[in-house]
Amino acid sequence: MNNLARLSDEVLTTRLQRAAFSYLIDYANPATGLVADTSRPGSPCSISVVGFALSCLPIAVGNGWISRADAARRASRLLKFFMQSKQSDAPDATGYKGFYYHFLDMETGQRVWQCELSLIDTALLIAGVLVVGVYFDGGGDEIEIRELADSLYRRVDWRWAQNGTEGLSQGWKPECGFLHYGWEGYNEATILYILGLGSPSFPLAPAGYVTWGLTYQWEHLLDRDVLYSGPLFTHLFSHAWIDFRGIRDAFMREKASDYFENTKSAIVIHREYGERNPHGFEAYSRDFWGVTAGEGPAAEECRENGRDRRFYGYMSRGVPYGPDDGTIAPWAMLATLPFATDTALAGTRRLLEKYPQVCSQDRFSSGFNPTLRVGSGGWLSEGWFGLDQGLLVMMIENHRTGLIWEIMRRSRYVRDGLKRAGFEGGWL
């Protein structure tokens, strides 16, 4: 049993942040630097987790958890690995056209699980690459980091990923080519488009971003205006890197809002949904929310009030249209710290008080479902997921110092990408 809930806000968040960061160190392969997707034995590397891990290095230096030299060494090792790894259309390569496969073997870096060459996960990786490329601005070894980061970014062939269309597919496989899945409706892909637009070598045409925007839905939902997207993480991922306060693209100018404000609205809707709790899930309230992508109880079933409750495994859950099976991500409320500080802390404290098992060794689990009774408590996912830990480190830091936002403001590629997407105003 932990006593985290009794700590002051500052002590609590710092302790959770540091523990989350330590995941990115503890579960990294010392030879390649690749970071495991989860803490479970045999887990492959997830390239997006590597993107978060790279982004967290300046945070760790700033907080005195590791030295700048150590951070530079870690960054350099990873960038070299990605630069030197096999890029080809062979099924066992590490990447192709500058993109990378979603999951890689922790030892060899080769593609595993016949997974897809993932556009969004590559974008999250490259975002981390750009962070270290900007942050390490000194001489000596840091010069090489900047050069490698620049080369890795320039190598990504975003135009190829358009497959002759204006939009972007979600991925590609050597076995079947581009996946049918595209990007429909607002979601976490903003950073993907911005990085693609900012490329000096293979830039996306701005029309692609405009076309994607045509699928946005501006809704008055649960008494609040919002650019709708169901899963909470979609309102957070791009914001881990980019400070959207006061900068607006054409869509947000039309709505007299910005994406930062929109995430605040989404949080209000998630809390309102928790309060209304239409499906009668255990614990849901204005201070118990966080329906998002994450692990769930999978094939478990229970019958309640004459109806079967269905549970899902790893899936992108959303509010209010679902899917929702009573599973929340315990880390999600705290990850909203930059947008709704008081409610993020209140919800997290209440969660820690009532269900302390969701946080072991000061790290939050991926999923928790108190509706499904397992033993004395609800269902809890096993171990930790790297994405959750990385996002939490960055969001706590952005709330506290805005460090990552400040670093990315200095990236000319990001600035170019934002401008080509039509963003203007504010710090831009």
Partner 1 sequence: MPLTPRSKPEDEETFLRRVRPSDWNNPTPQKTYDLAIVGAGPAGLAAAEHAARHGFRVALIEHNRLGGNSLNVGSVPSKAIISTARVYGTMQDAEAFGAPIPSEPALDFCQVMARMRRIRTRISEYFSAYNLNALGIDIFFGNARFESVDTLLAGDTRLHFKKALIATGARPEPSDIPGLERTDYRTSTTIFDMTALPKRLAVIGGGPLGCELAQAFCRLGSHVTIVQNSPKFLPREERDAAEILSRSMARDGVDIRLNTTVVGARREEGVRILKTVNNGVESEIQANEILLSIGRAANVEGLGLEAAGVEFDTEQGIKVDDFLRSTNPDIYAAGDACLALKFTNAAQASARMATQNALMQEQLRWSQSPIPWCTYCDPEIAHIGLQVWEARRQSIPVKTFTIMMHDVDRAIVDGQETGFVKIHIAETSDTILGATIVASRASELINEMAVIMNNGIGMMALAEIVHTYPTQSEAIILAAQAYKREFDKTSHHAESGA
Q: Does 207 bind partner 1 (CB under 8 A)?
A: no
Give the residue from 135, 146, 121 showing the smallest Cα distance to 408: 135
* Candidate segments 180-188, 200-208, 293-301, 366-374, binder of partner 1 by CB under 8 A: 180-188
Q: Does 206 bind partner 1 (CB under 8 A)?
A: no
Residue among 6, 40, 276, 373 that touches partner 1 (CB under 8 A): 276
Q: Does 217 bind partner 1 (CB under 8 A)?
A: yes
Q: Does 218 bind partner 1 (CB under 8 A)?
A: yes
Residue 76 or 265: the one with the smaller Cβ distance to partner 1 is 265
Total number of residues binding partner 1 (CB under 8 A)? 37
Residue among 310, 373, 410, 412 that touches partner 1 (CB under 8 A): 310
Rounded Cα distance, 17 and 96, in Å: 34
Residue 277 or 357: the one with the smaller Cβ distance to partner 1 is 277
By the 8 A CB rule, do 126 and 152 touch? yes
* Candidate segments 53-61, 81-89, 214-222, 395-403, binder of partner 1 by CB under 8 A: 214-222
User: H or E segment at 37?
Assistant: none
3-state secondary structure of 319: coil
- Please tell me the chain's helix, strand, coil percentages from 3-state DSSP, rounded to the nearest 5: 45, 15, 40
Residue 67 or 88: the one with the smaller Cβ distance to partner 1 is 88
Residue among 25, 66, 83, 179 that touches partner 1 (CB under 8 A): 179
Q: Does 299 bind partner 1 (CB under 8 A)?
A: no
By the 8 A CB rule, do 338 and 267 touch? no
Q: Does 222 bind partner 1 (CB under 8 A)?
A: yes
Q: Does 252 bind partner 1 (CB under 8 A)?
A: no
Cβ–Cβ contacts within 10 Å for residue 118, how many?
Answer: 24
368-385 burial: b if 16+ Cβ within 10 Å, else e: bbbbbeeeebbbbbebbb
- Residues in touch with partner 1 (CB under 8 A): 114, 116, 173-176, 179-181, 184-185, 213-223, 225, 230, 254, 276, 278-279, 305-308, 310, 320-323
